Amino acid sequence: VSKMFSAEAIWRGIVLGVGPCIGTKLFSGLFAWIQYKDEEAKQLARSASWATKCLQPQQLLVGIAMVARGEFAYLVAETAANSPYCPGKDGVPEGTMMMSEDTYAAVMWSLVLATICAPIMFRWALGIFDRATAIHRSVYIGGEDAKYQQKAFVIRIAAKYSPGVQKEIFNTLYAAGVQVLDASISSVRISDDSNADIDKFVNTFTVLSRGKKKDFDDEKLQDMHHAFTEILNDADAQIIFAPPNDVPNDDGVVEVQIIGQHHPSLLHEITDKLAAQDLDVIKAHVDQSLQPKTHGHDKHGHERSDRMESQRISGTYMDIMSQPAGIGVDTSDGHDRNESMDGSVGEEHSMSRGRSVSRARRLSVGLTKVITHKSALENVMYSSTADHGVAKGHEHEHHVTIGCETFYLKDASGSKYISSERRAKIQGDLKDLLKQHNLRGEVMVRVVHASEMSLVHSVPKLTKKQKESVLIVKCSGKHHKDILHEMADHFAAVDLE
């Protein structure tokens, strides 16, 4: 130990490390010289780093990679330090080792220096090589077309199903260096039997490279194709790479999804926020459901325990579109009546007598028509606490109401492009709204093509019990971007949710 930490051993080790251990290995990289393909590749390589002004990137990479090949030298030094020299030969005294302690100490320092520097230098050289190597986007995903450069691309996989194959596919995507932006998985069973196994599946992924260049060349896609082929183990499997769908910024709408804990005043405050940003709601889908309460949920929501006696009605859709102005009424009990609202907007109520509508579990509101999804009404998730014989407040203790709101928006000024900065502001404002009510939830804002606004409507069939707590309001008339949020404000003011 005293020999190792002596000043002489340290400086001698540094000299040996910089010279024989590192310098000679870097020199070996000079033999990796190749001819540049063109002048553009040459200029790109020289601009990657100061070191590539006189060396090619691969020369630097190969030379530094050789520096790490020194593990065997530890064994050689250890063997020499512990092996005695042949006694009596060349007049060497008996007991002399093949490597002295001073030399062994210096060699150890040089090897330690090379071992520490090698990964640091290699990472630096790898970054230079990456910057110096041009990535030409694969012809399978758009090629040199400028509108596809550094954009996402689509992967479609069709194959025979096997247990665990979906997990393997996602693992392969991650290993290939892509992040999944969107995914669609569909499958078909062998037969119509409820216990039948899955036969085939088709996956569609929209992915983006995790690398800085955000692109994949032909070689990378071929490697990915080979990896998928190995895990699918199906001779008929098909793996398709395709350019992304047309970028929807110039002909799209903004989709806002808010999924989180529910608050009675949340809907009208959301519409107020959207109207304040001069956004026009085209379609909307509002849904609530009871979900298991975990330690991650806060204690907010006690004021809603008295509303648990109402049944769940999910899948409320709001569809705002051009329709002829008019006033029509169709009540659930078969009686017709006409009412006017400001002389231009019609209003249609469907309610039962007896129970106050202020206890309505769901209010369907829209500018042109607001209806409640049929299947949600026929499959009530929970009934009143009295029906289940559960003590009042039990649901609050073990469950939490989660709301799922989806809005499709366009700029009210007529602009077809909403920038990422503005989308970030929309997301931030809505996230702040959740925080103001101490609610947990997520907000996602993205641009989608207009054709993706697929909200299906159906006429609800209310049971007798549901008629006692549900109010259906239909409105038609001339559209204005402020009507929806003002109607939501009105219903909130009169204690309707």
The rounded distance, in Å, linking the Cα atoms of 377 and 372 is: 8
- At the topology level, CATH places domain 139-242 in Alpha-Beta Plaits (3.30.70)
List the alpha helices (DSSP H) in 159-304.
165-175, 218-232, 266-276
Which of these, 204, 215, 370, 345, lies nearest to 283 by C-alpha position?
Answer: 370
The rounded distance, in Å, linking the Cα atoms of 57 and 61 is: 6
pLDDT, one tens digit per residue, over 74-95 is: 778 888 888 887 765 666 677 6
Question: What are φ and ψ of residue 317, in 5° steps?
Answer: -120, 145
Number of other CB atoms surrounding residue 283 within 10 Å = 19
Nearest-Å Rg of the Cα atoms of the chain is 35
CB 261 within 8 A of CB 440: yes
- The pLDDT value recorded for residue 473 is 84
User: pLDDT band for position 114 (50/70/90)?
Assistant: confident
Q: DSSP state, 149?
A: T
Crossing angle for the helix pair 266-276 and 483-493, to the nearest 10 degrees: 150
What percent of the chain clears pLDDT 90, i.e. is strictly above it?
Answer: 18
Sign of CA dihedral 103, 106, 112, 115: negative
What are the C-alpha distances in Å from 338 to residues 227, 347, 348, 349, 350? 66, 8, 8, 10, 12
CB 430 within 8 A of CB 273: yes
**H or E element in which residue 258 lies:** strand 252-261
Provide the residue ranges of all domains of the chain, joining segments of one domain with +.
7-132, 139-242, 249-493
pLDDT at 106 > cutoff 60: yes
List the alpha helices (DSSP H) in 233-300.
266-276
User: pLDDT band for position 137 (50/70/90)?
Assistant: confident
* Residue located via tokens 């691969």: 58
pLDDT, one tens digit per residue, over 152-210 is: 899 999 999 999 999 999 999 999 989 998 899 999 998 888 888 999 999 999 999 88
In terms of pLDDT, which residue wins out, 429 or 365?
A: 429
Q: Please state, rounded to an integer, the average pLDDT across all residues of the chain.
A: 75
The rounded distance, in Å, linking the Cα atoms of 370 and 422 is: 29
**Amino acid letter, 346:** G
Average the pLDDT over each of 391-400, 428-437, 464-473 and give the range with the smallest value: 391-400
CB 128 within 8 A of CB 60: yes
In sequence order, which residues have a C-beta less than 8 Å from that of residue 442 and are 6 or more positions away?
257, 258, 259, 260
| Mean pLDDT calculated for residue range 462-480 | 81
pLDDT at 416 > cutoff 50: yes
Average the pLDDT over each of 231-235, 246-250, 263-267 and give the range with the smallest value: 246-250
